[in-house]
C-alpha cells in the first residue's frame, strides 16, 4: 500500500475515472488469463473454443470478480472508513506476467494493489489488511452454503469459486511483506492466528463438501 497525497476520497463507493479504467483492464486480463489456465494452457483452450467462451470464461470471471476485485474493495472500503484516500492501481507488468504464465497452463498474478494515503495506527493498518482475506472468507462460506441448496452443476461451480477464494485468502495471510498477513501479524498475534484458523477450517470443510457433493 502506497501513498498518493494529492487526491482525496469522495465516498466509500465512488470511483475516479483512472481507478475504473485500471479495475476494468485488470479484471479483463485476469479473466482471460485464468480462463486459459483453467483450460490447461492456450493449446487446450483453443481445442474447444465454444466451451471456453460459454463455460470457462464465465467461471473465470466469477472467480476473478470475487477473489480479486472484492478482495481489493475490502481493503479500499475499510481504508476509506478510517478517512484515508484509497484507490486501486493496476501494475501493467504484473498483468502481462499473468497472461504469459497462463499460456503455459498456470497463473502467477500481481495485477496491482489498493494505494492508501492517510494517518492510521498499526491496528487500523492491520484491520485494513485483514479486510481483504476476510472478504474472501465470507465469499467462500457463501459459496459453500449455496452448494448445499442448489443443483450439482451449480454446486460444482460454487465450490470451485470457494476454493479460489480460500486459496487467495491463505496466500495473502503468509506473514511476510508486502502480503496482508505481515501487517495483520504486526497488529496482533491473536487476530492473525484467528484468521489463519478460520481459513484452515474453511479449507477442511470444503474438502468434505467436495467429497459429498461432487
Residues 25 and 31: their CA atoms lie apart, in Å, by 10
- HSE on the CB side for 113, CA within 13 Å? 16
pLDDT for the residue numbered 108: 86
Establish whether the linkage from the previous residue to 105 is cis, with ω within 30° of 0: no
Residues 99 and 142 in one domain: no
Per-residue b or e along 77-102, where b marks 16 or more CB atoms closer than 10 Å to that residue's CB: bbbbebebbbbbbbbeebbebbbebb
Residues 19 and 115 in one domain: yes
Residues 105 and 4 in one domain: yes
Q: Transcribe the chain into DSSP letters.
A: ----TT-----TT---HHHHHHHHHHHHHHHHHHHHHHHTSHHHHHHSHHHIIIIIHHHHHHHHIIIIIHHHHHHHHHHHHTT-EEEEEE-HHHHHHHHHHHTTT------EEEEEES---HHHHHHHHHHHHHHHHHHHHHHHHHHHTS-HHHHHHHHHHHHHHHHHHHHHTSSSTTSHHHHHHHH-HHHHHHHHHHHHHHHHHHHHHHHHH-
Residues 4 and 102 in one domain: yes
Q: At what angle do helices 17-39 and 92-102 cross, to 10 degrees?
A: 20
Q: Examine the residue annotation and report whether 19 is marked as an active-site residue of this protein.
A: no
Mean pLDDT across 41-61: 93
Residues 1 and 106 in one domain: yes
pLDDT for the residue numbered 102: 94
pLDDT in tens, 86-122: 999 999 999 999 999 999 988 888 899 999 999 999 9
Residues 32 and 110 in one domain: yes
Mean pLDDT across 48-69: 95
Q: Decide which of 120, 148, 174 is a domain's last residue.
A: 120
pLDDT for the residue numbered 152: 92
Residues 134 and 112 in one domain: no
Residues 22 and 209: their CA atoms lie apart, in Å, by 36
Residues 116 and 185 in one domain: no
Residues 214 and 108 in one domain: no
Residues of the domain holding 114: 1-120
Residues 133 and 214 in one domain: yes
Q: Decide which of 64, 94, 120 is a domain's last residue.
A: 120
Q: Write phi, then psi, for 114 (nearest 5 degrees).
A: -85, 120
Q: How confident is the model at residue 6 (pLDDT cuts 50, 70, 90)?
A: very low
Residues 86 and 185 in one domain: no
Q: How many domains does the chain have?
A: 2
Active-site choice (4, 19, 72, 87): 72
Cell numbers found for residue 120: 492510521
Find how far residue 86's CA is from the centre of its chain. 17
> What does the chain come to in residues?
214
Q: Decide which of 120, 145, 177 is a domain's last residue.
A: 120
Residues 91 and 164 in one domain: no
Whether 3 shows a pLDDT value over 50: the answer reads: no
Amino acid at each position: 500500500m502506497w501513498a498518493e497525497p494529492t487526491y482525496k476520497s469522495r465516498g466509500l463507493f465512488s470511483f475516479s475515472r483512472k481507478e475504473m479504467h485500471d479495475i476494468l483492464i485488470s479484471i479483463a486480463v485476469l479473466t482471460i488469463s485464468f480462463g486459459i489456465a483453467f483450460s490447461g494452457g492456450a493449446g487446450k483452450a483453443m481445442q474447444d473454443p465454444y466451451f471456453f467462451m460459454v463455460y470457462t470464461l464465465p467461471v473465470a470471471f466469477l472467480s476473478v470478480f470475487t477473489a480479486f476485485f472484492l478482495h481489493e474493495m475490502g481493503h479500499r472500503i475499510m481504508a476509506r472508513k478510517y478517512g484515508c484516500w484509497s484507490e486501486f492501481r493496476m501494475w501493467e507488468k504484473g498483468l502481462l506476467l499473468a497472461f504469459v504464465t497462463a499460456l503455459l497452463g498456470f497463473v502467477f498474478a500481481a495485477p496491482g494493489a489498493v494505494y492508501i494515503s492517510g494517518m492510521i495506527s498499526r491496528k487500523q493498518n492491520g484491520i485494513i489488511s485483514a479486510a481483504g482475506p476476510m472478504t474472501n472468507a465470507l465469499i467462500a462460506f457463501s459459496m459453500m452454503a449455496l452448494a448445499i441448496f442448489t443443483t450439482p452443476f451449480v454446486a460444482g461451480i460454487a465450490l470451485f469459486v470457494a476454493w479460489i477464494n480460500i486459496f487467495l485468502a491463505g496466500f495473502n495471510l503468509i506473514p511476510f511483506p508486502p502480503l496482508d498477513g505481515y501487517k495483520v501479524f504486526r497488529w496482533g498475534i491473536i487476530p492473525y492466528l484467528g484468521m489463519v484458523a478460520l481459513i484452515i477450517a474453511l479449507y477442511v470443510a470444503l474438502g468434505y463438501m467436495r467429497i459429498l457433493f461432487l
